A and B are shown apart, each in its own frame.
Chain A
Amino acid sequence: MSELNRRDFIAKTALAGCATASFTTAPVSVNAQDHPQLVVAKNSSPAELVKNAVEGLGGMGRFVKRGQSVLIKPNIGWNRIPDQAANTNPEAVAQVVKMCLNAGAKRVRVLDRTCAPAKSCYKNSGIEKLANEAGAEVRHVVESRFQEVKIPNGKLVKSWLFYKDALESDVLINMPIAKHHTISGITLGFKNFLGILGGERGKLHTDFMTKVVDINLAVKPALTIIDAYRILLRNGPSGGNLDDVAIKKTIIAGTDRVAVDAYAATLFDVELSQLEYLKIASEKGLGTLELDKVAIKEIDLSI
């Protein structure tokens, strides 16, 4: 984001800091003048967690300016209800919508190219209803709105079809849910962007770790918010069995998309080395893989 507004941010964070000070107990290892790259909010309702996590980053005003258009990309890929943890939490999505509109966004769209039939997914995920109520335009994906994008620095994927809104919106917010996925180990922010792709996405599954990074080279999310309120431990990404769901009551928000994914992975029983794409992505300069080099702020709302 632009340097010009740093002064504003400081003022706002100070305020936000005061406001949340009474809830914040975890040591804040961040220089007060800088925003953390990563905020982890724990132990409250999805909406509260999102609110606190984004405020911890400096508030939505840092990312969304008055009159801008926003695209929120949650995971709405599966015909599942929120309890089954296959789609992004609808209350969390609705909260982000509200915050974007409060920050003055002229339009907030929410969409995903689903795997199961779109109408079922939009409805049963609960996202259609709650995001609409919050004031978003929840839209179905229209085939004719995919556009070919060249990815000159892509290693294996040199071009692909991307959804117009993801390319042209002023602000892109990535909102995946953290869950198990056999080919990528776990699916987080990087994998979530397959939902803005057209074409035969199954072809990306061979050499997935390289290809998913190639795809991410073509998009610039201003903010990644990982929903780990409920996470899916097995039988992902479609899930369905409540026994495979763990309730973590955690939301991870950040501007460094590699770090955000790396942090979310710590919630799972998985070695970071298994998520090979993170290494490739950090080598491509998309973010920081070593979490000890990242400014992280943890907020525990239970106390």
Chain B
Amino acid sequence: MRTTRRISQVLFFLFFVFLFIQARFPYETDLPSDLFLRASALNSVIVLLAGRVFVASLALGVIILALAIPFGRFFCGWICPLGTVIDLTDKIVKRKRQKIRVRPTLRFRWIKFFILAALITAAFFSFQFIWFFDPVAMLTRVFTVAVFPAFVFIVNAAFSFAFTINFLENTVYDVYDFAQRTFFPVNQPYFYQAIPIFFLFLMILSLSLATRRFWCRNFCPLGALLGVFSKYRIWRRYVIDTCTNCGICQRDCRMNAIEDDFTLNNTVECIECAECVSVCPTNAVYYRLGRPSVGINKVDLSRRRLVLASIAGIAGLSLVKAAAKDRKKTGMVLRPPGALPEEKFLDRCVRCQACVRICASTGGCLQPALTESGWEGIWTPVSVPRLGFCEYECNLCGRVCFTGAIQKLDIEVKQKVKIGLAHFDKTRCIPWYRQEDCLVCEEHCPVSDKAIKFDLQKARGPDGTIRAVKFPYVVADLCIGCGICENKCPLEGAAGIYVTRENEQRI
């Protein structure tokens, strides 16, 4: 059973990576790249609760949650890609072996239930904070902004070197082109948030130094949720009387779920990894369907802590809400086309960066924010035109958003949705400031009656002569705020044209 579980973990992880990699322009396969995100019951429950709306794509998580009632936390042990990464880290990390065999501490176990209770309370008041904790969103995020860009950087460097080897050049070009067509992005993605997101992730992995699956044991609210539901599971662990009380199963249990009476395990904590089945020297341990009442099923959260958790949830949300005042006026950020009105958007967005990831394969304007849109908006997708632009013929961000924070828009609709408005900075723009022709912005403007037009006027150029110069201006009714003008402006540093969220349409 352990081998089967390991194969399952590897296959699901590879499937996760495959879905991640195939989510790229033009995305014709339409394979659900969000499958794992949807399978996270935490995402489903909290988004449904905070968003107060049923989204069909969230049903999968609810099904997995329902399956936990009879079958327990199979998701954690067999499927969860973060769990697999943590298991791998645990294999690599060398911990100090304890001389005398004592059960590792249970002191932190309650934290995950505390977090869950706080999150649910906050969600009741329509505030969604799972984005920091959800394991699948976390892994997708770190893959998007750190792991994949770093991988691309390395591969690009290798290609650059290979191109310099003369006799290999044409072969290398063939290989490069094959990579481009299959899994590799044309452009190197860049993300300002790569470093903080990666280090937070590294911290979670480094918890392996303490005990195995430290995150899962003590912090993961998804595990807590599935655990609470699998209290009365019928798929359970049995120990027959060949057991010699050697205690190897307790020592090797990655979830620390086996009690001091080795025949008992905690059904809330057990993730059915079957390690105990495989390590038992007398083959005394096995799993089968059985009556739910036997055993221990304690949810390690005292009533006092439950109350504290609810208070913490409310306090936390009030704090964050108070930190962002009047977003409509002060929020400077551009949201992707089809984003819900800001409040609703924040309720739904779990910061998985699926939109950011797929955007990087076309226009590349989306970046995870830091506090540009308030503390509430950390790591939400914002469009940064100087780094990329919203590609006119693309609607992929909405197509991969499984929570509906960004709506799926038909391409014809999306092409008309205004995400902002371009303005000329006449102290920077070349024709306005230097009286020379430029119009690169006009060249790239994708709307077919161009939103950038020009007046032909006589002006004194830099060489002192009077000449006819094309002075550009923006037609607000035509501009959709895609930001390609700001992106392509040939000035170094700040562009001569920039996009604000004026005219923004959020439906």
Q: Which residues of A come within 8 Å of B, CB atoms? A: 79, 107, 115-120, 123-124, 137-140, 142-145, 181-183, 200-203, 205-208, 235, 237-241, 244
| A202 in contact with B177 (CB, 8 Å) | no
| B362 in contact with A117 (CB, 8 Å) | yes
| B186 in contact with A140 (CB, 8 Å) | yes
At the interface with chain A, which of B41-49, B137-145, B289-297, B434-442? B434-442
Q: Does B176 count as interface, using CB distance less than 8 angstroms?
A: yes
Contact A119:B437 (CB < 8 A) given known A202-B488, A238-B444: no
Q: List 13 A-B contacts (CB under 8 A).
A: A79-B391, A115-B444, A117-B361, A119-B25, A120-B26, A120-B393, A137-B174, A144-B163, A182-B454, A183-B438, A183-B439, A203-B490, A238-B444
B 433-474 to A, binary, CB cutoff 8 A, 1 in contact else 0? 010111110111111111000100000000000000010000
| A205 in contact with B163 (CB, 8 Å) | no
| B391 in contact with A120 (CB, 8 Å) | yes
Q: A123-B26, A140-B176, A202-B489 are in contact. List 11 more A-B contacts (CB 8 A).
A: A107-B170, A115-B443, A120-B391, A142-B173, A144-B163, A182-B470, A202-B488, A205-B440, A205-B490, A207-B436, A240-B446
Q: Does B159 count as interface, using CB distance less than 8 angstroms?
A: yes
| B362 in contact with A145 (CB, 8 Å) | no
Closest to B177 in A: A139
By Cβ-Cβ distance, the 8 closest A-B pairs, closest first, are A202-B490, A241-B448, A240-B448, A144-B160, A202-B440, A206-B436, A79-B393, A117-B362
Shortest CB-to-CB span from B494 to chain A, Å, is: 15
Q: Does B406 count as interface, using CB distance less than 8 angstroms?
A: no
Shortest CB-to-CB span from B485 to chain A, Å, is: 11
CB contacts (< 8 Å) of A117 on chain B: these are 25, 186-187, 361-364, 391, 394
| B439 in contact with A182 (CB, 8 Å) | yes
Q: Does B392 count as interface, using CB distance less than 8 angstroms?
A: yes
Most buried by B among A201, A240, A241: A240
Closest to A187 in B: B443
Shortest CB-to-CB span from B439 to chain A, Å, is: 5
| A124 in contact with B393 (CB, 8 Å) | yes
| B186 in contact with A119 (CB, 8 Å) | yes
| B394 in contact with A120 (CB, 8 Å) | yes
Contact of A205 among B173, B186, B439, B450 (CB under 8 A): B439
Query: In the docked arrangement, what's the CA distance between A168 and B225, Å?
Result: 63
Shortest CB-to-CB span from B177 to chain A, Å, is: 6
Q: Does B283 count as interface, using CB distance less than 8 angstroms?
A: no
B 155-167 to A, binary, CB cutoff 8 A, 1 in contact else 0? 0100110010000
CB contacts (< 8 Å) of B186 on chain A: these are 117-119, 140
Contact A79:B392 (CB < 8 A) given known A182-B442, A238-B443: yes
Closest to B472 in A: A182
Most buried by A among B437, B448, B454: B448
Q: Does B76 count as interface, using CB distance less than 8 angstroms?
A: no
Q: Does B180 count as interface, using CB distance less than 8 angstroms?
A: yes
Closest to A202 in B: B490
Closest to B176 in A: A142
| A206 in contact with B449 (CB, 8 Å) | no
Query: In the docked arrangement, what's the CA distance between A124 and B446, Å?
Result: 15
| A183 in contact with B443 (CB, 8 Å) | yes
Shortest CB-to-CB span from A273 to chain B, Å, is: 13
Q: Does B430 count as interface, using CB distance less than 8 angstroms?
A: yes
Query: In the docked arrangement, what's the CA distance between A144 and B173, Å?
Result: 12
Interface residues of B in 190-229 (CB under 8 A from A): none
Contact of A240 among B159, B434, B447, B490 (CB under 8 A): B447
Shortest CB-to-CB span from B100 to chain A, Å, is: 59
Q: Which residues of B come within 8 Å of A, CB atoms? A: 25-26, 156, 159-160, 163, 170, 173-174, 176-177, 180, 186-187, 361-364, 391-394, 430, 434, 436-440, 442-450, 454, 470, 488-490
| A205 in contact with B25 (CB, 8 Å) | no
Closest to B25 in A: A119
Query: In the docked arrangement, what's the CA distance between A145 and B25, Å?
Result: 24
Contact A119:B442 (CB < 8 A) given known A79-B392, A241-B449: no
| B438 in contact with A205 (CB, 8 Å) | yes
Query: In the docked arrangement, what's the CA distance between A115 and B487, Å?
Result: 11
Query: In the docked arrangement, what's the CA distance between A112 and B26, Å?
Result: 19
Query: In the docked arrangement, what's the CA distance between A207 and B436, Å?
Result: 8
| B437 in contact with A238 (CB, 8 Å) | no
| B443 in contact with A181 (CB, 8 Å) | yes
| A200 in contact with B490 (CB, 8 Å) | yes
CB contacts (< 8 Å) of A205 on chain B: these are 430, 437-440, 443, 490
Query: In the docked arrangement, what's the CA distance between A117 and B159, Å?
Result: 20
Closest to B441 in A: A202
Contact of B25 among A120, A142, A207, A235 (CB under 8 A): A120
Shortest CB-to-CB span from A135 to chain B, Å, is: 14
| B159 in contact with A142 (CB, 8 Å) | yes
| B445 in contact with A238 (CB, 8 Å) | yes
CB contacts (< 8 Å) of B440 on chain A: these are 202, 205
CB contacts (< 8 Å) of A116 on chain B: these are 391-393, 446
Query: In the docked arrangement, what's the CA distance between A205 and B439, Å?
Result: 7
CB contacts (< 8 Å) of B470 on chain A: these are 182-183
CB contacts (< 8 Å) of B445 on chain A: these are 238
CB contacts (< 8 Å) of A119 on chain B: these are 25-26, 180, 186, 361-362
Query: In the docked arrangement, what's the CA distance between A241 and B450, Å?
Result: 10
CB contacts (< 8 Å) of B170 on chain A: these are 107
CB contacts (< 8 Å) of B25 on chain A: these are 117, 119-120
Contact A145:B437 (CB < 8 A) given known A182-B442, A237-B443, A240-B447: no
Shortest CB-to-CB span from B483 to chain A, Å, is: 13
| B439 in contact with A144 (CB, 8 Å) | no
Query: In the docked arrangement, what's the CA distance between A244 and B450, Å?
Result: 12
Query: In the docked arrangement, what's the CA distance between A143 and B152, Å?
Result: 14
Shortest CB-to-CB span from A81 to chain B, Å, is: 9
Query: In the docked arrangement, what's the CA distance between A116 and B389, Å?
Result: 9
| A140 in contact with B436 (CB, 8 Å) | no
Query: In the docked arrangement, what's the CA distance between A116 and B364, Å?
Result: 11
CB contacts (< 8 Å) of A123 on chain B: these are 26
Query: In the docked arrangement, what's the CA distance between A200 and B495, Å?
Result: 13
| A183 in contact with B449 (CB, 8 Å) | no
| A140 in contact with B180 (CB, 8 Å) | yes
Query: In the docked arrangement, what's the CA distance between A117 and B393, Å?
Result: 10
CB contacts (< 8 Å) of A240 on chain B: these are 392, 446-448
Query: In the docked arrangement, what's the CA distance between A118 and B450, Å?
Result: 22
Contact A139:B173 (CB < 8 A) given known A144-B163, A202-B490, A205-B440: yes
CB contacts (< 8 Å) of A140 on chain B: these are 176-177, 180, 186
Query: In the docked arrangement, what's the CA distance between A183 and B446, Å?
Result: 16
Query: In the docked arrangement, what's the CA distance between A121 and B170, Å?
Result: 23
Query: In the docked arrangement, what's the CA distance between A217 and B438, Å?
Result: 22
Query: In the docked arrangement, what's the CA distance between A239 and B173, Å?
Result: 32
Query: In the docked arrangement, what's the CA distance between A119 and B181, Å?
Result: 9
Query: In the docked arrangement, what's the CA distance between A118 and B26, Å?
Result: 11
Closest to A207 in B: B436
Query: In the docked arrangement, what's the CA distance between A260 and B159, Å?
Result: 38
